[in-house]
Every structure is written in C-alpha cells, then in structure tokens.
C-alpha cells in the first residue's frame, strides 16, 4: 500500500533539510520511471525519459516545442511526444492545450505542461503558484466533466497579437472562465485587463462579459 501513498509533508528547518526534500522527490521519480514506465517502454529508454523530465521541470508554464526539446535530447519530435504521453498516463505531468474552436488546429499548436506534484517544478515562486493553480483547475474541470456529463477542459488562450491568458475553462467547446495567475496585483493591472478583454473577446466571442474578467 505504501507505493500509493502521497509524499510526507516536510518542514524545512535548514539547508540540509532542503536537500532531503529534494531527494525525496528524486527517489519517487526514480521509482516511477524504473517500475511503471517499464510497462510502457523499453529499459534503454528510461535514461532518455529521466533527462526529458529534467528538461520539462524548467519549462513549466511555457509553450513547448517538441522539435526544440528533441534537439536537446537528440531524439525525434515524435519520440519526445510519445514520452510525454507516457508521463501523462503515469499522472506525472499533464498538458494544457491552446483554445481554438477548430479542435484539429488546437492539437497542432504548442501545449503548455504542468506537474501534478509542484515539488518537481524548477522555477521561482511565481511559476510554482501557476503550477499549483493549474493542478487545482485540472481537478475542477475533471469534476465538472464527471458531474455534469459535459466535456470540460482546461486550456489557455493566445491571440494573434501574442497576448496570452494563462488558463481558460471550456465546456462543450465554449469558454466559461478566463484565469490569469499573478503573484501580485500591479498598479497597471486595470489597464492591462482592459486591453486583454478587447483582444481576448475577439478570440473567444462565446465568453460572456461577466465571465471574461481576469481573476487574480
């Protein structure tokens, strides 16, 4: 039963304790890769998958280019995508795809990636808050799908003007909520929000005005 338990809650007392916490996540990842991934893949691929996870830890919340990552690992883009699918199946990571009314085009665009366990994220406090928010929203959309019977997804929005909203909750292909994650509310947040509303509403006209505001 121990393999199904979550990681113990750690209290950081000093630098040596920090290292202990990091080793705890590393050990858990090693167990997943050596035990579970062997059910999906070959032994010689485990090393490549460990390297992929290390790269992904530093790219949380950014649109991913499979070609770029494949170049870093000396693997084909299709192989990198296959590894990402395996990591998703093991509930180590999940992908957030861009919103588009054309599903085929959405699949072709670059997704963002988040870890189910924020302890894996290699970044500042801001990106860790974004990852934690993504996990909560993913659980929320899964709950809505299960309880309403309607296809509910977590996506993100990016316009032709390169403006981006971190998350969009969509139900049956229509955007119901837009969520932007910020560590602090800046003085110019109101003007930025107004600019986003004008640009984003052209991208997601189905989103009602009352639901198009940016949440902090």
Angle (CA) 37 43 46, round 5°: 60
Does residue 200 lie within any of the structural domains? yes
- Joined together, the tokens standing for residue 203 give 């991208």
d(Cα 207, Cα 171) in Å, to the nearest integer? 11
Does residue 23 lie within any of the structural domains? yes
pLDDT bucket at 17, cuts 50 / 70 / 90: very low
pLDDT bucket at 105, cuts 50 / 70 / 90: low
- Joined together, the tokens standing for residue 105 give 């085009």
Q: How many domains is the chain partitioned into structurally? A: 1
Per-residue pLDDT at 102: 59
Domain of residue 163, residue span = 8-211
pLDDT above 70 for 116 = yes
Does residue 216 lie within any of the structural domains? no
With b meaning 16 or more CB within 10 Å and e meaning fewer, what string describes 19-51? eeeeeebeebbeebbeebbeeebeeebeebbeb
DSSP 18: H
Does residue 172 lie within any of the structural domains? yes
Chain mean pLDDT for the chain:
75
pLDDT above 50 for 208 = no
Does residue 81 lie within any of the structural domains? yes
Per-residue pLDDT at 75: 92
pLDDT above 60 for 207 = no
- Tell me the per-residue pLDDT of 121-162, one tens digit each, with 9 for 90 and over: 999 999 999 999 999 999 999 999 999 889 999 999 887 766
Per-residue pLDDT at 45: 78
* pLDDT (mean) for 30-38: 61
pLDDT above 50 for 43 = yes
Does residue 203 lie within any of the structural domains? yes
Per-residue pLDDT at 95: 95
Does residue 83 lie within any of the structural domains? yes
Does residue 139 lie within any of the structural domains? yes
Per-residue pLDDT at 56: 96
Per-residue pLDDT at 174: 86
């Amino acid at each position: 039963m121990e393999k199904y338990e979550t990681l113990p809650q750690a209290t950081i007392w000093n630098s040596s304790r920090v290292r202990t916490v990091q080793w705890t996540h590393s050990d858990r990842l090693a167990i997943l890769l050596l035990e579970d991934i062997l059910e999906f893949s070959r032994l010689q691929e485990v090393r490549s998958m460990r390297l992929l996870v290390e790269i992904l830890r530093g790219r949380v919340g950014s649109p991913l280019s499979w070609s770029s990552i494949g170049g870093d690992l000396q693997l084909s883009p299709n192989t990198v995508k296959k590894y990402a699918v395996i990591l998703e199946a093991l509930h180590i990571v999940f992908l957030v795809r861009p919103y588009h009314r054309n599903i085929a085009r959405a699949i072709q665009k670059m997704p963002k990636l988040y870890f189910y366990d924020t302890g894996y994220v290699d970044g500042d406090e801001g990106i860790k808050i974004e990852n934690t928010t993504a996990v909560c929203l993913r659980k929320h959309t899964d709950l809505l799908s299960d309880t309403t019977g309607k296809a509910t997804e977590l996506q993100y929005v990016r316009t032709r003007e390169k403006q981006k909203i971190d998350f969009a909750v969509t139900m049956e292909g229509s955007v119901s909520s837009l969520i932007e994650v910020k560590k602090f509310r800046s003085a110019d947040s109101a003007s930025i929000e107004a600019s986003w509303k004008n640009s984003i509403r052209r991208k997601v006209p189905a989103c009602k005005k009352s639901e198009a505001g940016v949440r902090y």
